[in-house]
Amino acid sequence: MSSDLPVPSDPNAVPARLREEIDRAAHYARSSRAPSTQRAYASDWRVFEEWCEERGIESRPASPGAVATFLAFEADRGVKVPTIGRRLAAIAYHHRQFGFDPPQEQPGAGAIKEVLAGIRTAVGVRKTRKKPADADALAAMLKTIEGDDLRAIRDRAVLAIGMAAALRRSELVALAVDDVALAPEGLQLFIGRSKTDQAGEGAVIAIPEGRRIRPKALLLEWMAAAGHEEGPLFRRLTRADGLTRQPMSDRAVARLVQRCAADAGLDPTQFAGHSLRSGFITEAARQGASIFKMQEVSRHKSVQVLSEYVRDAERFRDHAGERFL
């Protein structure tokens, strides 16, 4: 990005005001990607840089041939196809940040496309999903969190709200106290910027009172115990369970899900932070909810992903071979 900004040839000649404005522009450019995406891109870029250093190849700007060879190397060492695709996106992102054309937009970029196509053909692109924390799994997880201390109260609310609103873990930790509105039937949550809403238009999600998971009751218990009236809804706690002003991290949500899965006798490696979101969608499909009602909560831009959950839930329902097998 730096080459696109109005920087004089002599860096020392940049006025303080212009330098501040340049820094703000760079900040907005970084904000175009979610923090989790930025972390993943940074990790992917380090992998590519190390590969280049070991072979004496220029990493920035990188040639299409070098990138194609790198992608083939990643495939041969067992890296999954989606991760390889993300590695390529990270390489493009870092090139743009420094004013270079991404390798996949340079002459000779056809080599990258051909290698990617070959990897997909040879390795395959079968999707691997973590298990959903559906109603049964979540109820079992909640039972493992015993006690009335601040951490236990918070953790129960995090699991319940994350599943009940089909939230991504980044959305869950971004919630503020002001985003919660009470309703006679349950709760309403305002979801600001998200993965599919980078413009920040926001959406309002309704959460019923509930009889089994009881998300409203668990959230109100947490808010009363924490006693905070503004700022992050789900706060980080000190080791002594003291309330801080910082929000929980999205990684803390993932660790919470895995810990509770293990305590409930489930395989923790099969669960992740996304299990809360997929748990709602899976259970809704299993209970016969329409795709459009599911979409109201999940906020998927396309119904294609949701239709996969419905197909999974209905594979044995009215099966063609049920009457003769």
Predicted confidence (pLDDT) per residue in 76-90, tens digit: 988 888 899 999 999
What is the percentage of the chain residues whose pLDDT exceeds 70? 85
pLDDT at 317: 77
Cα–Cα distances in angstroms (integers) from residue 134 to residues 112, 272, 278, 298, 300, in the given order: 40, 13, 8, 14, 19
Return the bridge partners of 208, or none. 186
Under a CB-based contact definition with an 8 Å cutoff, are residues 32 and 89 in contact? no
Please report which residue ranges of the chain form alpha helices under DSSP H.
16-31, 35-55, 64-76, 81-97, 110-123, 135-144, 150-164, 169-174, 215-226, 250-263, 274-286, 291-298, 303-313
Q: Which helix (H) or strand (E) holds 301?
A: none
| Yes or no: domain 33-123 corresponds to CATH 1.10.150.130 | yes
Under a CB-based contact definition with an 8 Å cutoff, are residues 106 and 64 in contact? yes
Q: Which helix (H) or strand (E) holds 204?
A: strand 203-208
What gap in Å lies between CA 156 and CA 158, rounded to an integer? Answer: 6
Please check whether the two domains, 33-123 and 135-313, share a CATH topology: no
pLDDT at 129: 73
> Which CATH class for the 135-313 domain?
mainly alpha
Question: What is the domain partition of the chain in residue ranges?
Answer: 33-123, 135-313
Peptide bond preceding 11: is omega within 30 degrees of 0, i.e. cis? Answer: no
Amino acid at site 288: G
Residue numbers in the chain where pLDDT is lower than 70: 1-14, 17-19, 21-35, 124-128, 193-200
